[in-house]
Amino acid sequence: MCLSPGGKELGPGPNPPVEGDSLILECNPPVAAVGFDILEQLADGSGYPIRVYDSSGSLVFSETFDTPFQTDSAGGSNFYGIVSSAENIARVEIDDLDANAEFPDANIGYDTLRYGPLTTGACCRFDGTCVDSTTECACLASEGYVWHKGLSCSAVSCGKIPAVSE
């Protein structure tokens, strides 16, 4: 499915009912990860402000996702993702601020919308210890070498990795 909030007409701006393609995603219950493709007629490098809120309405992330500048007339897509260490993503706002006809990119679409819960598992560390209930990213950041999705330390065997000599 491809979503273009402005409708079927790909008209130039400024014309908010046609080319106003901002999007609000609401997640109930909150999730730990959200990802999506933004489809563009022509990327002019302007980017899209993204804001993420938790279930109490507090801002937990704000950034502008920049798009690459294209000089040809081919359209393109870019995947953007937001990952949290907790299931606190309740609302994602994406602003389409390009409201002119300078480039034929006043219209964008959204595709490949993905979201998910916090997935934990057992993390085997180089020293042979195991850490329960951690995410894959947290495991690798804490000297982990293997992450076992959905398992606990009691279900895995972690051996000490010998030091490599040069």
For 74-122, what is each residue's pLDDT tens digit?
A: 667 888 888 887 889 999 999 887 766 666 556 778 888 888 888 888 8
Structurally, at CATH architecture level, domain 9-116 sits in: Sandwich (2.60)
Q: Higher confidence at residue 41 or residue 118? A: 118
Q: How many CB atoms lie under 10 A from the CB of residue 55?
A: 15
Q: Higher confidence at residue 14 or residue 112? A: 112
Which residue carries 């993905």 as its tokens? 114
**The pTM is what?**
0.69
pLDDT tier for residue 25 given thresholds of 50, 70 and 90:
very high
- Range in 32-41, 64-73, 97-106, 143-152 the model is least confident about: 97-106
Which residue carries 């920049």 as its tokens? 66
pLDDT for the residue 103: 61
d(C-alpha 21, C-alpha 80), whole Å: 16
pLDDT for the residue 50: 93
Question: How far is CA 70 from each of CA 41, 42, 53, 78, 106, rounded to the nearest angstrom?
Answer: 10, 7, 31, 12, 14
Domain boundaries, the chain: 9-116, 121-155
